[in-house]
Structure 1
Amino acid sequence: MTNFSIQAAEATQRMRKLFAATPLQRNDHLSNVYGADIWLKREDLSPVRSYKLRGAYNAMGKQVDKEVFICASAGNHAQGVAFVCKHLRKKGVIFMPVTTPQQKIGKTRLFGGEWVEFRLVGDYFDDTLRASQAYCEEVGGHFLSPFDDQDVIEGQATVTYEMLEQLGRAPDILILPVGGGGLSSSARRLLTERAPETEIFYVEPEGGKSLAAAVAAGEPKTITKVDNFVDGAAVARIGQHTFAALRGIDADHVLAIPEDRICTTILEMLNVEGVVLEPAGALALDALKDLKDEIKGKTVVCVSSGGNFDFERLPEVKERAQRYAGVKKYFILRLPQRPGALKDFLGLLGPDDDISRFEYLKKSARNFGTVLLGIETPAPENFTSLSERLEAVGMSIRDITGDEAMIDLII
């Protein structure tokens, strides 16, 4: 084995002191849908329900002389660090934004117990990060980057190393989610040495295309606007060390997935397979839709990178999935202000159309009232026939489903 392969092998052996290898499972449902041999590397089944535990353990294990470990995170990285602090019996100080939900704080505290201290600083993550780094310098601790650290990258390589061992061969295609690049850079380095024939696809959320920006520029670039819905992969700037390993990849192998479409995959895996995935954990699986022609008849591994899904988000996920599928829409309806107008409107609905929202927004006009209308229906084409029926009787209706500003205000 070459150098990085040896490092990954040794890191994989170290992981066994902390947890068993996560399963590599063939998924019959996805295999049947896409006509391929599709396997899932189930990082959502690690002790902290994400692969971030690996990088934290590898990096902290190499710095056991340090008295205190510090990180800034409100998600999977914090949970991984907390878990390792308890295992190594080392103090950890985890900085989180003030806006972090109590559910995330409580879960991280559960993993770290008495070994972890929490500091809530700043409304935005950049403020939190600066505070954590200043504190680290002040106390002489060891700062744990979530991705841009060579020891963290080496730890994340154990995902790919285990996958190769479990499959017994290299897959034709490996599909990876990308945030800061720790997982993807480690996979590329290892497969370049062990299985250069394996094709790798890198998947980002549409609202966080930091890898695509870096590939286009030839160096890491900060993107100005990030959609944080896919919070485990929504990163404004890919890491310097991670991009060094990703430089030169084919831009056509970097895919961007709409956030609303990811929601359809989260629901599909939950309802059909009983698999709970967070948005970042569903990225690689969702990309199969874009690669259906490419993967047919091939052996494909998708990394399901995390399952830390807060079920309080389920209504939002369902809402976004329905809007993406075209079976839920929002309209502004001008309804005549006369007796029987509402009854007339209801009579125009199809037998399967369901009103999910009906709210007067304005009642000052003498002849017409403005109504916010939400409708669910089993088939997208039902909306076309509904609009035609409304227009035929002179009821003015405007589709606002795609108006982001309006949707943000009313939903």
Structure 2
Amino acid sequence: MPRSLAAWQGVARPRRGVTSHYDLIVLGTGGVGSAALYHAARRGLRCLGLDRFPPAHDRGSSHGESRLIRLSYFEHADYVPLLQRSYALWDQLDPTLLQRSGVAYFGPSGSQIIEGVLGSARQHQLAVEVLPENTMPQFIPPDSFTTLYEADAGWLPVERCVLAHLDQAVAAGAEHRWGESVIDWQATDSGVSVTTDRGRYGADALVVAGGAWSSRLLQTLDLPLTVHRKHMHWFACDDPRYQSGFFFDLPHGQFYGFPAMDGRLKVAEHSGGEVVSDPLTASRAEDALDSQRIESFVREHLPGVGGVRLEHQTCFYTRTADEHFIVDRYPGSNNVAFAAGLSGHGFKFASVLGEVLVDMAVGQKPAIECGFLGLSRFHC
């Protein structure tokens, strides 16, 4: 079992001025970075993970108790092989992490969501059911909406996933240092050099997984990234019918949620969000318009969920112009790999993206094809 955040907070931080050389350094140890550190350590590499925040922190995009995971990917069918590998890696990491609760999709016939789910299912022989009307009375979709159900979909306990990767990385020999801000990195004749506010480190290879701070860590690339502040809400719910995740594609926005647990049900809006210039200083307060939209969604479409809102949290989406990830080697540096712009749907891929990034950084061909996520589509 992964250590708790409280246990991690007792880990000593490094002394100032430390200079060391590693096989590989990972910048950012959230969802993807923690996975990269794990995969590097499992291969026997001498590796270091650096982050300005404590493990499983709530300042980025890898917190908030849960994330959906699904195979019938409406965003693009080419993601499915990555997801199939991701499922296997989550189970390998800890078989109690991935909860196969199923996910229901509700949308107009012919919409991007419905056609995308069905298209991915056809192309990759995935089990997706078309349900008759009123099969799931705990949900009230608009009249004439199509309902799909994927039994192999489910959710991941996000903080536990991050801590599991970090725990097993450290157990395999990795070093993990937090409370340390990266000032700069650069390629050198012997590999890469990383400068932080506490020291300087050298490595043969580098993985950059900066999340909402990717534009600063990769600023010379001028990546087409926009950071949006997003909101997560928990409502009181004792209705035992809410056992699956769900995704609604409504005319005014896309909304999703999770199985009810311990008298609480989490729901959020996938679309929209407020653009922020600096994630470090962005407000963590509720947004009145977002709260109104969520409350209206719950009232109109989730009849078994009470109107009592119990909790609110914020996170960040770092979106690309096409809302697909960027996963590639740094131009001109075959030993530097990065992932950026996961666009609010990336955590489920963290286990496989960590593996892919280590492959790229050490000069290997990734076992799973992800060329469609390359940087070249923006720099033609």
**Structure 1 length as normaliser, TM-score?**
0.27
- More helix by percentage: 1
Higher relative contact order (CA 8 A, sep 6+): 2
- More strand by percentage: 2
Indicate the structure (1 or 2) with the bigger Cα radius of gyration.
1
